[in-house]
A and B are shown apart, each in its own frame.
Chain A
Amino acid sequence: MAEIIRNPNDIKVAQAPAGYEGPGFFATSLDKAVGLARKNSIWPLPFATSCCGIEFMATMASTYDFARFGSERLSFSPRQADLLMVMGTIAKKMGPVLRQVYEQMAEPRWVLSVGACASSGGIFDSYSVLQGIDHIIPVDVYVPGCPPRPEQILDGVLNIQKLVHNESLRRRNSPEYKAMLNSFGIE
């Protein structure tokens, strides 16, 4: 049986942000420290309605191991979640439910739209299916695929991490952000 030997030097630890370092102290800006902390401790809320949810289960399981990226802990309460992962077909009847879940999440919050159905309605171009969740809530990252492989879902989450890492602390208070939410009818 082949034995996997890993070089301990391959293990990457999150890099400290740029800052001013001296004996016994380290100074950096709050944005960077908060961004680093948030980025590596995202609590996702999986909103799985169909086959993309099955791919997400694989993403969570040991082979792909979502926990490696600091998202060990799923939140099944929207009030504690940072990231809403919408995976699957959202019927028009499910729309208000999804919207309520989004509204219950505390700021800052991000949305990942996984798969063709959540992103655009997919093959379900039909009277009963919402043609993309961006009709009702803002989306940060789209993951294409029908369904996407776990690698693609991980890539989507890593892109979310980039957004989280680089987000300004004032963004959520800005008039542009409020106007964007208002355009979805969310106060």
Chain B
Amino acid sequence: MTKPDIEQIANKLKEKFSHAIISQEQSYDYPVFVVDKNELLHIIRFLYEDENFQFRYLTTLCGIHYPGTEKPFALMVQVHSLIHNIRLRFKAFTSDNEPRFDSLTSIFSAANWMEREAYDFYGFHFNGHPNLKRILNVDDMDYFPMRKEYPVEDRTRYDKDDTMFGREKAGYKEMN
């Protein structure tokens, strides 16, 4: 079996999913495909089942938040073809504030916990996930902490008092 190069894989994807491949770029040594979020599952399944490519290892799956952009939420998936040692990265963007993606658990069992993590930290929902609940944070947490819309510092902290340590509030304004 000959090792396919990235262009061959890209051409094959564009041939099979011409409407779903939005863009392709090279990020350092990583080929990145931006794809339609509704087609992500089918693309991954195609790469998994293709006898020549055999992308059968899910390296990473996680959420991303780019605040202030048109489509701020993205699901990032990295797959690895172990026999060819080729890695691919996929990003699926959405403008929905409660993003909903198709679960990859039907292809990769490993996606189970990764999708729970994306749900836990970004509030992404996954259609067809068998057990979508928080995985790392406390169960009664009422927000999704990795979304960049919450203060970095914890709200129950009381020893960082600006009046005592003269940070921005107390110091700067009086000086000007």
A interface residue numbers (CB < 8 A to B): 92-93, 120-121, 125-129, 131-132, 135
Q: Is the interface of B mostly helix, strand, loop or mixed?
A: loop
In the complex, the answer to whether B137 meets A131 with C-beta atoms within 8 Å is: no
In the complex, the answer to whether A120 meets B138 with C-beta atoms within 8 Å is: no
- The 25 listed contacts between A and B (C-beta, < 8 Å) are A92-B137, A92-B138, A93-B136, A93-B138, A120-B157, A121-B154, A125-B152, A125-B154, A125-B157, A125-B160, A126-B152, A126-B153, A126-B154, A127-B145, A127-B150, A127-B154, A128-B137, A128-B145, A129-B154, A131-B154, A131-B156, A131-B157, A131-B159, A132-B159, A135-B156
Interface string of B140-170 (1 = CB under 8 A from A): 0100010000101110111110000000000
B139 to chain A, nearest CB (A): 9
B interface residue numbers (CB < 8 A to A): 136-138, 141, 145, 150, 152-154, 156-160
In chain A, what residue has the closest Cβ to B143?
A: A127
Within 8 Å CB of B150, what residues of A? 127
Q: Is the interface of A mostly helix, strand, loop or mixed?
A: loop
Other-chain residue from A92, A127, A131 in contact with B158 (beta carbon distance below 8 A): A131
Within 8 Å CB of A93, what residues of B? 136-138
B68 to chain A, nearest CB (A): 21
In chain B, what residue has the closest Cβ to A96?
A: B138
In the complex, the answer to whether A121 meets B157 with C-beta atoms within 8 Å is: yes
Q: Could you list 17 further interchain pairs (A-B, Cβ under 8 angstroms) beyond the known A93-B136, A127-B145?
A: A92-B137, A93-B138, A120-B157, A121-B157, A125-B152, A125-B154, A125-B160, A126-B152, A126-B153, A127-B137, A127-B150, A128-B137, A128-B145, A129-B154, A131-B157, A132-B159, A135-B156
